[in-house]
Structure 1
Amino acid sequence: MLKILYLAQDLADPAVRRRILMLQAGGACVTLAGFRRGSNALAAVEGIVPIELGTTRDGRFAHRVGAIAKACLSLSAKLRAVGRPDLIIARNLDMLAVANRAVCLFGGDVPIVYECLDIHRLLLRSDMAGRAMRACEAHLGRNARLLITSSPAFVEHYFRPRSGLDAPIMLIENKVLALGERSDPPLAAVTTPRMDRPWRIGWFGALRCRKSLELLSAFSRRMEGRFEIVLRGRPAYSEFDDFDGFVRNEPHMTFHGPYRSPEDLGAIYEEVDFTWAIDFFEEGQNSRWLLPNRLYEGCRYGRVPIAMRGTETARFLAVRSLGFLLDEAEPDNLVALLGAVDAVSYADASHRVTACNSDTWVFGRNDCENLVRRLSTIATTTPEPTTPLSHARQNEGGLS
């Protein structure tokens, strides 16, 4: 059984929980260690007690650097009871630094996999600070045996032309984990819109985009009750002046707190008609390139996605003739896009979503086993000479 030490930048992140479940379903034995950014009981994994390396805060980069340095100094004591792993997975740049320290403690030859699902804005700056950050990433990732990322646009716009990393790439999209258990709901059939209530737009997951919140507020007020906005997930309070107060004062917007993924997805998407798959956080950079969790979640349950034209999400949908694409981030444009939606046009849009192959949206047990099999190969083979990333496309492997 493959033994993995998984280093997470946020133990309360539901996406970390999903990745641990994937690795376990694939047959790996996982030890979880990382930083705590907040409490979220729904992110706990049954049978795993994480090793806490310290606390960090959203948006406090200097504080995070100090926390990482402190964790590296105390890592020997923290990992005293942990046996030598076959592989270390470092989620995000923060944990890549910790992973390098851990390798030294375990004897210097444990392979590292670098998992990077967001490109921090500091890495994209063209000034000295940006160059220093990219040099740091390249240095810390110099021995990484694999790079895992979630969107082709990250490879196209950052990892290949700018990062300086030399590692094979595995693309693992942010699909819904479906392990074929009896509790897994069937894949969505064509959605019959409920005409006894307003249309509902669901914005679920990591709520960190002030511009989206303000746009949805203005739109729902303009529609005078024809549309309601339903929010669920974990707000990044550092990005809002007063998230709770703002939502409380909105007549057509509600916030229902965190949820468990994948267990709660069927129930929460059943309550909405559309998925807000737009994110202006780090606008023009990371938000333009990502393929968010909510895209796959909503479509897996037949909900119609709304995306911003010019983004990777829009490109993904346009290829499949799915969803509604917004031209400008203005209330008038959103009114023009959705104002004329009726039962017939919605049923057609939903049918297009549900007609897609289920593998488009779902990461199943076989995918989990393939992932662990690929990781096992890395753990048991001698490193080969690195391939420059500009030529790494021939080595890319995806689980799609």
Structure 2
Amino acid sequence: MQVLYIAHNLDDPAIWRRVAMLRRGGAVVTVAGFRRGEGPLPGAARVLGRTRNARMSQRVIAVLRARQGATLPDGRGFDAIIARNLETLALAVVIADRAGRRGGQAPRLVYEVLDIHRLMLRGDMIGRTLRALERRWCRAVDLVLVSSPAFVTQYFDTYRQTRAPVLLVENKVMAGPDEAGAQGRRLLLARGGPLVIGWFGILRCAFSLACLDAVTRAAPGRYKVMLRGQPAYDVLPDFDAVVAANPDLHFAGPYAYPDDLARIYGEVDLAWLVDRYEKGANSDWLLPNRLYESGLNVVPPICLAGTEVARMAERLEIGLRLKEATVAAASLMLAQVDGARLAALRQAQADVAPAVWRTDPEECRDLVAALGADMPGRGLRLLRAGGLTT
């Protein structure tokens, strides 16, 4: 299986996790896409241009230049083309069409959606235009990959964007049996010290930063918050100042995936999964990486009631649910967590099978098989076989 993977941001580690999953499933993967960072990439890739965070107009221009430029990959010889996000779908349909017109069989077109951008939900001309473009390009799509079922029920079916089959590929941890899991059998209790909360990953939720700052300030020494990953300074310009002014907030910088997961989750009691960055939309629908990372390492999650994360936690009977996104609700919930409560939460988390959180070889093979139009086995879940639901 020869696969062309077109990425919206080659500097995003999640891109290379998907590449690793495809290769582990037996595919030969060629990577192309746009860059937003500097320095060496984790692997070989054809760079199609540069884009910027939170600059949709600039990204549109970059895509248009790539469509017209000579750097666009030749689609001939590929069995499938995967387009990660809408901007790369605009390129993938062109590549697939050219490959078909130049002789031979056109590659299957796969649309991978891990976020629903807020512009896609607008009711004005901008939103309607973007959705119309997506519907048009989706006519050529053979398969849609999503990381959360809510993306289908809340967006694709609501706006009737595609009739293609939809496959659920969750953001599970790409780790072998010796790389993660065993550390989850350890119990880390407060032991009379502070209750340690970990907020890891892309740190971009203004409510979370303000809430954790306020909760710790209201009870000095009772809680400790460990922050790791990449702050989104375009959303949180005061991040460094807030952390520096609060002795109970500790930012320890980025971490390596998956090598550092056992260590950083081994330092915390609870994982903060609340995200209000795009409340009422993407933040309510997604199932983020930190859900699976904390799950595999047996750290109970804190999630917000009414979100897809909370619904999954409820099904698994794990974690804590924040009733509403307020400082008062967070303070009340955390005040009820003592050593005995934490031990019970840990035990409930430990009772969940590691396969819920970790990608296994069968899922990798299933994904590659689905690219070739084979129905997935029990490793991945087909949300829709084709056609719009009613």
- Give 1:313's aligned amino acid: V
> Contact (CA 8 Å) 1:205, 1:234: kept in 2 or not?
yes
Cα pair distance change 1:387/1:27, threshold 3 Å: closer
For residues 232 and 271 of structure 2, the distance between their equivalents in structure 1, rounded to whole angstroms, comes to 19
Q: Percent identity?
A: 41
> Contact (CA 8 Å) 1:12, 1:40: kept in 2 or not?
no
Match of 2:297 in 1: 301
Matched, 1:8 2:4: no
> Contact (CA 8 Å) 1:211, 1:280: kept in 2 or not?
yes
CA drift of 1:39 comes to 3.7
For residues 40 and 259 of structure 1, the distance between their equivalents in structure 2, rounded to whole angstroms, comes to 17
Cα pair distance change 1:369/1:37, threshold 3 Å: same
1:127-142 pair list within 5 angstroms: 127-142=124-139
User: What is the TM-score with the length of structure 2 in the denominator?
Assistant: 0.91
Matched, 1:320 2:316: yes
> Contact (CA 8 Å) 1:161, 1:390: kept in 2 or not?
no
Matched, 1:256 2:260: no
* Deviation digits for residues 307-354 of structure 1 (CA, Å, limit 9, x no counterpart): 001111111111222111111222221111011311111010010011
Structure 1 unaligned spans of 5+: 380-385, 392-400
Match of 2:381 in 1: none
Of stretches 350-359 and 106-115 in structure 1, the one that deviates more from structure 2 is: 106-115
Number of residue-to-residue matches in the alignment: 377
For residues 213 and 163 of structure 1, the distance between their equivalents in structure 2, rounded to whole angstroms, comes to 36
CA drift of 1:163 comes to 4.0
CA drift of 1:121 comes to 0.9
For residues 256 and 39 of structure 1, the distance between their equivalents in structure 2, rounded to whole angstroms, comes to 21
Structure 2 unaligned spans of 5+: 376-384
* Deviation digits for residues 37-74 of structure 1 (CA, Å, limit 9, x no counterpart): 22476xx43xx311111111111111111111111122
> Contact (CA 8 Å) 1:58, 1:236: kept in 2 or not?
no
For residues 163 and 257 of structure 1, the distance between their equivalents in structure 2, rounded to whole angstroms, comes to 41
- Give 2:100's aligned amino acid: G
* Deviation digits for residues 356-397 of structure 1 (CA, Å, limit 9, x no counterpart): 122211111221112112213369xxxxxx943226xxxxxx
CA drift of 1:135 comes to 0.5
Of 97, 101, 113, 1:104 maps to: 97
Of 79, 83, 89, 1:86 maps to: 79
Of 47, 50, 57, 2:45 maps to: 50
Match of 1:153 in 2: 150
More helix by share: 1
> Contact (CA 8 Å) 1:35, 1:52: kept in 2 or not?
yes
> Contact (CA 8 Å) 1:111, 1:378: kept in 2 or not?
no
Match of 1:35 in 2: 34
For residues 338 and 188 of structure 1, the distance between their equivalents in structure 2, rounded to whole angstroms, comes to 22
- Give 1:67's aligned amino acid: A
For residues 248 and 85 of structure 1, the distance between their equivalents in structure 2, rounded to whole angstroms, comes to 51
Of 276, 283, 292, 1:280 maps to: 276
Matched, 1:340 2:339: no
Match of 1:20 in 2: 19
User: What is the TM-score with the length of structure 1 in the denominator?
Assistant: 0.89
For residues 39 and 311 of structure 2, the distance between their equivalents in structure 1, rounded to whole angstroms, comes to 33
- Give 1:21's aligned amino acid: A
For residues 192 and 62 of structure 1, the distance between their equivalents in structure 2, rounded to whole angstroms, comes to 47
For residues 160 and 15 of structure 2, the distance between their equivalents in structure 1, rounded to whole angstroms, comes to 24
Of stretches 30-39 and 271-280 in structure 1, the one that deviates more from structure 2 is: 30-39
CA drift of 1:282 comes to 1.1
For residues 184 and 286 of structure 1, the distance between their equivalents in structure 2, rounded to whole angstroms, comes to 29
* Deviation digits for residues 90-120 of structure 1 (CA, Å, limit 9, x no counterpart): 0000110111122234335121100001111
For residues 196 and 3 of structure 1, the distance between their equivalents in structure 2, rounded to whole angstroms, comes to 56
| Paired residue secondary structure (2:340) | helix
Of 266, 269, 277, 1:270 maps to: 266
> Contact (CA 8 Å) 1:219, 1:335: kept in 2 or not?
yes
For residues 191 and 10 of structure 1, the distance between their equivalents in structure 2, rounded to whole angstroms, comes to 37
- Give 2:126's aligned amino acid: A
Match of 2:382 in 1: none
1:62-73 pair list within 5 angstroms: 62-73=57-68
Matched, 1:192 2:191: no
Cα pair distance change 1:267/1:39, threshold 3 Å: farther
| Paired residue secondary structure (1:390) | coil
Of 358, 361, 368, 2:364 maps to: 368
CA RMSD of aligned residues (A): 2.0
